[in-house]
Amino acid sequence: MDSNYLEEVRRQYEEYPYPERNPEVEKGTLLSTKSSSLDCINHYCFEGNLNHTENFRVLIAGGGTGDCTIYLAEQLRNTNAEVVYLDMSTASMAVAQERAKVRQLTNIQWVHDSILNLQSLNLGQFDYITCTGVLHHLSSPEAGLAALKSVLKKNGSIFLMLYGTYGRTAVYQMQDLMKRVNQTTEDIRAKISNTKKVLNCLPDTNWFKFNKQIFNLDLASDIGIYDLLLHSQDRSYTTTELYEFVESQGLVLNTMFELESALGRMIFDPKTFLNDPQLIQEVMSLPKREQEAISELLYGQRIKHCCYISNASNKEAQFTNKDLVPIHSITSQGAVEFEDLKKQFNGNGEKIRINIAVEIFRRECTKDLFNAIDGKKSIGEIVVEVSQLNPNESLENIYSQFYKIYNALNNTGLMFLKSKNTPEYPQMVEMQSRVVSIYGRDECQKIYNKYFKK
């Protein structure tokens, strides 16, 4: 392993913990991510059968300033689950620890070390590992993935995020530009200052300026600018390279996952972008990974590859299992969107818009199907119940319509499946109320208004 590289990267995250987070914000809201929600993890990694209350072990490999750590620990607060945070930056870990302190979370084990040392840390085996934006900053990403595999249980799963080559084309042009501009500059702050000056004078022909809106969040802070445009070690992958990378360590890429696009998982489907029937038929006859590679090139702006990988295949819960229970997403975004969806499903429009990019056609039984989803009834039970309300519709037609609803909502991260034996998940309101009980409603509302109310 390149020790010089390690020191430079470590120095970056010591001086600029990433992403930038203010622990005080924890009083105002719980930052959530779909990929770290128990409902999502259960659906994509454990076929809907996970019991997260019984000795569930989670590793956040490269925990940074704590987003995934805090959210998972809060969800698992009242269980005997173990949450292990691992990061090589003391500054980043200090931010994460302060956030946990604000929430009075005591179920996190803090480890200051590199993921490359996992085998020697004696942390045991894990059911679930999340590793977001870490491996592509190592001199040997393969060694990093091998380290993760070494502590993964036989039936465990990993959520992995790596950079996408094509979507970050403009980023790598800017990185090359700033290396040339800063070649005689050593000081980090001076490099950032030079980068801001360059960003302010980019001509309209510059590819990064043309795509700047995609990266506006990163450009809002010095930390984001440094991580995006000045990182000392940054490599990316195409879809094909991603599969090869995962399989090089004897692992299986089960599910590509999308965090940011309104299209959701539809960005991995060539049918989303193609419109010629013959061409669609030809492309859809290709292997799944080839379809996804074609979709990446068609879409053009996939800046990150997110996926669930494991030691074995077929980990995702399937709608064909009619004993599984459909549930609404527990994230705060999901809760807000479902209130709007409820109005649409109970309305009279010809189409129901799931989001700005996805819609479904209304059928007579559509409203009844949506309203029957209560987090307790199984797919099969819902179909039978709705058939009694719609005697003119066959069970097959109702099931088919239910699948269209489910598929649209699942693709956009708004619906998942779980076993009836899976314990209930804590809801966002419930988790935030714990903080309110500590600091009082007025204080928490004040913090929320300060950082989030427009």
Residue ending a domain, among 229, 253, 273, is 229
Count CB neighbours of 367 within 10 A. Answer: 19
Confidence of residue 2 (pLDDT cuts 50, 70, 90): very low
- C-alpha to C-alpha distance for 304 and 64, rounded to whole angstroms: 18
Exposed, middle or buried: residue 235 (CB in 10 Å: 0-12, 13-18, 19+)? middle
Q: Is residue 429 part of a domain?
A: no
pLDDT at 3 over 70: no
- C-alpha to C-alpha distance for 245 and 242, rounded to whole angstroms: 5
Asked if 259 and 128 sit in the same domain, the reply is yes
Asked if 123 and 195 sit in the same domain, the reply is no
Asked if 27 and 151 sit in the same domain, the reply is yes
Asked if 145 and 180 sit in the same domain, the reply is no
Percent of the chain with pLDDT over 70: 97
* Average pLDDT value over all residues in the chain: 93
318: which 2 tokens?
């399937």
Which amino acid is it at 299?
Y
Which amino acid is it at 108?
I
Q: Is residue 428 part of a domain?
A: no
Per residue in 407-439, pLDDT (tens digit) is 999 999 999 999 999 999 999 989 999 999 999
Q: Is residue 274 part of a domain?
A: yes
Asked if 258 and 204 sit in the same domain, the reply is no
> Which runs of E-coded beta strand occur in 137-201?
152-163
400: which 2 tokens?
């088919």
Greater pLDDT, 392 or 454: 392
Q: Is residue 338 part of a domain?
A: yes
Q: C-alpha angle 188/213/231, rounded to 5°?
A: 25
Per residue in 53-63, pLDDT (tens digit) is 999 999 999 99
Domain CATH number, residue 152: 3.40.50.150
Q: Is residue 436 part of a domain?
A: no
Query: What's the rounded mean pLDDT across residues 86-93?
Result: 96
Q: Is residue 189 part of a domain?
A: yes
Asked if 301 and 396 sit in the same domain, the reply is no
Strands 126-132 and 351-353: unpaired
Identify the DSSP state of 254.
E
- Ramachandran angles phi, psi of 85, nearest 5°: -95, 135
Q: Is residue 60 part of a domain?
A: yes
Residue ending a domain, among 276, 310, 344, is 310
Strands 351-353 and 359-361: antiparallel
Query: What residues contact 320, with CB distance under 8 A and at least 6 apart?
Result: none
pLDDT at 4 over 60: no
- C-alpha to C-alpha distance for 241 and 273, rounded to whole angstroms: 22
Per residue in 149-192, pLDDT (tens digit) is 999 999 999 999 999 999 999 999 999 999 999 999 989 899 99
Asked if 138 and 21 sit in the same domain, the reply is yes
Specify the pLDDT at position 1. 35
- The domain tally of the chain equals 3
Confidence of residue 454 (pLDDT cuts 50, 70, 90): low
Asked if 292 and 379 sit in the same domain, the reply is no
- C-alpha to C-alpha distance for 402 and 316, rounded to whole angstroms: 18
285: which 2 tokens?
């006859």
Q: Is residue 123 part of a domain?
A: yes
Greater pLDDT, 244 or 429: 244
* Predicted TM-score (pTM) above 0.85: yes
Q: C-alpha angle 168/174/176, rounded to 5°?
A: 105
Asked if 83 and 177 sit in the same domain, the reply is no
Asked if 151 and 55 sit in the same domain, the reply is yes
Asked if 121 and 215 sit in the same domain, the reply is no
Asked if 15 and 130 sit in the same domain, the reply is yes
Per residue in 57-82, pLDDT (tens digit) is 999 999 999 999 999 999 999 999 99
Residue (of 316, 328, 326) closest to 427 by Cα position: 328
Residue (of 123, 60, 126) closest to 97 by Cα position: 60
Full domain range(s) for residue 66? 3-166+235-310
Query: What residues contact 399, with CB distance under 8 A and at least 6 apart?
Result: 379, 383
